[in-house]
């Protein structure tokens, strides 16, 4: 355990150094303006890749470090890095006008593998609310069980049959077994008789023993040599790295030990966290008893000294600051008595200067000529034109810099030899709590000193207070009330104010609008990277995205913002997401993966699912109100709209008119407007036929559109291998996976899973030891399925080219010349019309 502490501390220090150098580079590049688009993208991409590396390391460190105070700082920096990754992604999207980016050349320069670009999902998303999620799952399971909506697993359903049928089945099986045995005996008898006949025909020739021995030797040596060459070939393939070693897939003892240690560390983390929370209370109480009276005396002496100094310098006692202004804290915020006296003198001088300036301004009130304003306008325009591209200001850079500065001041060179178990540091808590205690005592002292100042004024200056201020206050209150009345009418009415969230939750479950998400991790969405993306784009060919590119976008747009409230509030806001692709490519699986990774609730508002539920306009309004209210209260939440093209049909087919598929069309934009940065709610639509939808309203609702392609050769190779192994299959030399991947071009993940589960029955899995799997077995299953043809994939590409992002991309590739020419033409036409009118 102690070695691990040192290792993760070292890892943290190295990551902080990398972050520090990256922040320095960022601050330099923020000021510079660039015009070369290729250079800008290279710069953004390198920052993005480096931030992803830092994000990965910080995530590991935060998960494993047990020191509670370090974890608070790491968490702050981790959220900042996460947000910055999303900001850079947004910058790249705006620059290249595409959701997918390829970094082959940059990865090569940085000597990184594409796997290192995979977006890590922080474990704290689920760890911190594990009990809440488990409790919610129990309630959901209970409601489903009570209403009878829970469908049992198909694997374990056993149909009961009558006794007579069961006896008949056993009899048939037994008779068949006896028949097989009888046939075997008959075969043996026949073979014996055949051998005897052959011996009689040939005559009793005495076989040469030497010849027989030679034959046996020949066969044995051939077999032995064959085995030897096979073994040598396998060793060579392993040596060249073309085959994994024999125990490659087996879990080693060190990994098992590491898992045990990490679970122990989690327990230590929880224990240290509890100790830290207790210490926050006890240390503050101790400080209050020991240091509280001294702090009070010092503050009173300081304020009295200020009264006397003011009286000596100005001739009058000062006005005591109000509670709203911050009381005496404004005057004495980290200042010595000398600085306070200097401030008093400076304030007097400023007041005198301001009075003189006001007099001068009244004397010199002249209007500026219009020409100057026009000149300014033209200058600003020329400046904007001259200036190239500049990185937009970041919301997360200040938090990262702040965290980095705290690390430098506190932890970088801190001697922790005394704190071997990595528990909380009491001195740091004392520093924090002293400030808190001082501010609490200052409030009490301020009340006493205000009274003392009144007494001093009465005694020395003989001043009397008149009740003018009270009258002013009363007048101010009245105005405030008038202002409030006007705003009340704007608030939306709560249609279910009299009901609890629990009852609304139950209602949604019973109606089938809130469903149980399947336990699927994002890592289960298997695929391979596209290694030719950059080279294809350089030749102006738009590559189809790979499955892992899709997985990255789901992590960036769906999982990271939903998992972290701090990131969701400040990062570029993504309210809605559309997954478009042919059937079987894993769109629904990705929706369930978002819910699993973030512990989100899943609401199903598909056209087929809401048909006949909450009828009428008022019913629809109530349904959406309840869904949004529950989603807000129990956030994070995912609102899934399956076959979303039905909601935006150009023309509703006659067969579907009864279910009213377009019920949500007008309501969805309203829901999106209601969602604020604080609401961790994501609307996800999935569609197989986006071309059936009305494009304009479709694209208005869905902010981000992700095309989910059919798997390419590399992805199919990985899919076949992984799915066969996950279903209990053993991959041997007899099974040619490369051939399977090549033959199954156009088949989706769904087809592959169906084929594998169909072939790998319990009986076939048991037979593998003497009958290894063959590619032909799977191909026979695939013959009954229809693949996704190239034409269908092209139709998705053509549809995407019509979307706003697709149009912008097409214009950018052509150089935007056509649009400029159109604008020029329009301007000329307008000028001509104006001239005609004048004439």
Residues 597, 581 share a domain: yes
Q: What is the 3-state secondary structure (H, E, C) of 805-828?
A: HHHHHHHHHHCCHHHHHHHHHHHH
- List, in order, residues 6 or more apart from 465 with CB less than 8 Å away: 454
- Residue 476 in domain: no
Mean pLDDT of the chain: 80
- Residue 676 in domain: yes
Helix (H) or strand (E) holding 515: strand 514-515
Looking at residues 498-521, what average pLDDT do you find?
A: 86
Q: Which residues pair with 580 in a beta bridge?
A: 687, 707
Of 540 and 471, the one with more pLDDT: 540
- Residue 70 in domain: yes
Residues 97/809, Cβ–Cβ less than 8 Å = yes
Residues 27/77, Cβ–Cβ less than 8 Å = no
> DSSP readout, 108-142?
HHHT--GGGGSPP--THHHHTTHHHHHHHHHHHHH
Answer whether residue 154 shows pLDDT above 60.
no
Of the candidates 575, 578, 594, which has an alpha carbon nearest to the alpha carbon of residue 674? 575
Picking from 707, 724, 745, the residue at the C-terminal end of a domain is 707
Residues 703, 717 share a domain: no
- Residue 552 in domain: yes
pLDDT tens digits along 728-766: 888 888 888 899 999 988 899 999 999 999 899 998 999
Structural domains in the chain (count): 3
Sheet of strand 601-604, all strands in order from the earlier edge strand to the far edge: 514-515, 601-604, 637-642, 681-687, 576-580, 704-707
- List, in order, residues 6 or more apart from 23 with CB less than 8 Å away: 397, 400, 401, 404
Q: Residue 473's CB: how many other CB atoms inside 10 A?
A: 9
Residues 670, 717 share a domain: no
Of the candidates 48, 16, 76, 54, which has an alpha carbon nearest to the alpha carbon of residue 399? 76
Burial class (CB in 10 A: 0-12, 13-18, 19+), 810: middle
pLDDT confidence of residue 222: 95
Of the candidates 684, 698, 578, 616, which has an alpha carbon nearest to the alpha carbon of residue 649? 698
Residues 652, 572 share a domain: yes
Residues 606, 562 share a domain: yes
- Residue 58 in domain: yes
Residues 116, 43 share a domain: yes
pLDDT tens digits along 366-404: 444 444 444 444 444 444 444 567 778 888 888 888 888
Looking at residues 825-838, what average pLDDT do you find?
A: 51
Looking at residues 713-717, what average pLDDT do you find?
A: 91
Residues 620/746, Cβ–Cβ less than 8 Å = no
Picking from 685, 707, 729, the residue at the C-terminal end of a domain is 707
- List, in order, residues 6 or more apart from 192 with CB less than 8 Å away: none
Residues 63, 14 share a domain: yes
Looking at residues 184-190, what average pLDDT do you find?
A: 94
- Alpha-helical segments (H) within 457-523: 468-488, 501-510
Is 671 strand, coil or helix? helix
Question: 601-604 and 514-515: which strand pairing?
Answer: antiparallel
Domain encompassing residue 113? 1-124+396-412
User: How far is it, in rounded angstroms, from Cα 30 to Cα 738?
Assistant: 48
Residues 594/638, Cβ–Cβ less than 8 Å = yes
Q: Point out the least confidently predicted range of 462-466, 477-481, 708-712.
A: 477-481
Residues 584, 686 share a domain: yes
Burial class (CB in 10 A: 0-12, 13-18, 19+), 272: buried
Longest Cα–Cα distance in the chain: 150
Residues 9, 46 share a domain: yes
- Residue 295 in domain: no
Is 639 strand, coil or helix? strand
Residues 130/565, Cβ–Cβ less than 8 Å = no
pLDDT tens digits along 82-95: 999 999 999 888 88
Residues 327/321, Cβ–Cβ less than 8 Å = yes
Residues 694, 559 share a domain: yes
Peptide bond into 636 cis (omega under 30): yes
Residues 717, 702 share a domain: no
Question: 601-604 and 704-707: which strand pairing?
Answer: unpaired
Q: Residue 463: which pLDDT band, with cuts at 50, 70 and 90?
A: low
- Residue 628 in domain: yes
Looking at residues 684-701, what average pLDDT do you find?
A: 88
CATH number, residue 736: 1.10.8.60
Look up residue 600 and give its DSSP letter: -
Answer whether residue 273 shows pLDDT above 90.
no
Distances in Å between the alpha carbon of 346 and those of 113, 313, 412? 62, 11, 40
Residues 678, 636 share a domain: yes
Answer whether residue 206 shows pLDDT above 70.
no
pLDDT confidence of residue 85: 92
- Residue 289 in domain: no
User: How far is it, in rounded angstroms, from Cα 58 to Cα 404?
Assistant: 13
């Amino acid at each position: 355990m102690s070695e691990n502490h040192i290792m993760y501390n070292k890892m943290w220090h190295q990551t902080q150094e990398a972050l520090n150098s990256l922040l320095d580079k960022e601050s330099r590049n923020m000021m510079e303006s660039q015009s070369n688009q290729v250079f800008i993208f290279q710069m953004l991409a390198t920052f993005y890749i480096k931030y992803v590396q830092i994000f990965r390391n910080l995530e590991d460190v935060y998960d494993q470090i047990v020191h509670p105070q370090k974890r608070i700082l790491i968490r702050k920096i981790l959220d900042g890095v996460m947000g910055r990754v999303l900001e850079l992604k947004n910058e790249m999207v705006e620059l290249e006008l595409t959701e997918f980016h390829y970094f082959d050349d940059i990865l090569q320069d940085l000597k990184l593998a594409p796997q290192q670009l995979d977006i890590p999902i922080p474990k704290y998303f689920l760890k911190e609310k594990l009990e809440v999620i488990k409790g919610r799952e129990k309630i959901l399971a209970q409601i489903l069980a009570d209403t009878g909506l829970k469908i049992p697993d198909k694997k374990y359903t056993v149909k009961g049959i009558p006794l007579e049928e069961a006896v008949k089945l056993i009899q048939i099986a037994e008779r068949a077994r006896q028949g097989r045995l009888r046939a075997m005996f008959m075969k043996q008898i026949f073979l014996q008789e055949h051998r005897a006949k052959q011996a009689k025909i040939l005559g009793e020739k005495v076989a040469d023993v030497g010849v027989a021995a030679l034959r046996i030797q020949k066969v044995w040596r051939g077999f032995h040599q064959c085995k030897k060459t096979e073994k040598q070939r396998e060793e060579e393939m392993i040596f060249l790295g073309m085959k994994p070693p024999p125990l490659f897939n087996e879990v080693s003892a060190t990994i098992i030990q590491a898992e045990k240690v990490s679970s122990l560390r989690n327990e230590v983390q929880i224990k240290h966290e509890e100790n830290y929370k207790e210490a926050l209370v006890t240390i503050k109480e101790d400080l209050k008893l020991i240091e509280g009276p001294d702090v009070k005396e010092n503050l009173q002496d300081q304020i009295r000294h200020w009264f006397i100094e003011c009286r000596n310098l100005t001739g009058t006692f000062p006005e005591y600051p109000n509670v709203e202004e911050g009381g005496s804290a404004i005057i004495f915020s980290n200042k010595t008595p000398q600085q306070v006296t200097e401030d008093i003198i400076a304030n007097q001088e400023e007041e005198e200067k301001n009075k003189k300036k006001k007099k001068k301004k009244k004397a010199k009130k002249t209007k500026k000529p219009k020409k100057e304003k026009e000149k300014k306008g033209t200058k600003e325009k020329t400046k904007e034109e001259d200036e190239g591209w500049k990185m937009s200001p970041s919301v997360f850079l200040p938090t990262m810099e702040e965290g980095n500065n705290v690390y430098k001041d506190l932890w970088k060179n801190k001697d922790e030899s005394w704190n071997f178990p990595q528990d909380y540091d009491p001195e740091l808590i004392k520093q924090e709590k002293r400030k808190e205690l001082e501010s609490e005592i200052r409030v009490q002292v301020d009340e006493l000193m205000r009274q003392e100042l009144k007494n001093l004024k009465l005694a020395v200056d003989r001043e009397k207070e008149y009740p003018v201020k009270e009258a002013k206050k009363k007048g101010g209150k009245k105005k405030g009330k008038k202002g409030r009345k006007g705003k009340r009418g704007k608030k939306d009415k709560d249609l279910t104010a009299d009901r609890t969230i629990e009852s609304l939750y139950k209602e949604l479950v019973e109606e089938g609008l809130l469903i149980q998400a399947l336990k699927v991790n994002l890592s289960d969405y298997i695929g391979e990277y596209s290694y030719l993306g950059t080279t294809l784009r350089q030749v102006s060919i738009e590559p189809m995205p790979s499955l892992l590119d899709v997985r990255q976008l789901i992590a960036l747009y769906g999982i990271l913002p939903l998992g972290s409230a701090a990131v969701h509030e400040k990062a570029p806001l993504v309210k809605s997401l559309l997954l478009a692709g042919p059937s079987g490519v894993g769109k629904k699986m990705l929706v369930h993966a978002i819910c699993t990774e973030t512990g989100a609730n899943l609401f199903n508002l598909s056209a087929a699912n809401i048909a006949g539920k909450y009828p009428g306009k008022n019913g629809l309004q109530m349904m959406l109100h309840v869904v949004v209210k529950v989603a807000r209260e129990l956030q994070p939440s995912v609102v899934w709209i399956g076959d979303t093209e039905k909601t935006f049909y150009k023309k509703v087919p006659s067969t579907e008119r009864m279910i009213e598929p377009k019920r949500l069309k007008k309501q969805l934009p309203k829901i999106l407007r209601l969602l604020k940065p604080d609401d961790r709610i994501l609307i996800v639509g999935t569609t197989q036929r986006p071309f059936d939808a009305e494009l304009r309203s479709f694209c208005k609702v869905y902010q981000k559109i992700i095309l989910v392609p059919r798997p390419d050769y590399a992805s199919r190779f990985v899919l076949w291998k992984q799915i066969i192994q996950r279903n209990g299959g053993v991959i041997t030399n007899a099974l040619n996976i490369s051939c399977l991947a090549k033959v199954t071009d156009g088949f989706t993940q769904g087809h592959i899973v169906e084929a594998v589960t169909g072939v790998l029955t319990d009986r076939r899995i048991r037979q593998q030891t003497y009958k290894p799997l063959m590619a032909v077995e799977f191909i026979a299953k695939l013959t009954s399925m229809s693949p996704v043809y190239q034409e269908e994939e092209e139709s998705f590409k053509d549809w995407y080219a019509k979307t706003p992002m697709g149009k912008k991309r097409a214009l950018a590739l052509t150089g935007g010349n056509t649009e400029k020419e159109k604008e020029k033409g329009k301007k000329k036409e307008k000028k001509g019309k104006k001239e005609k009118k004048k004439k």
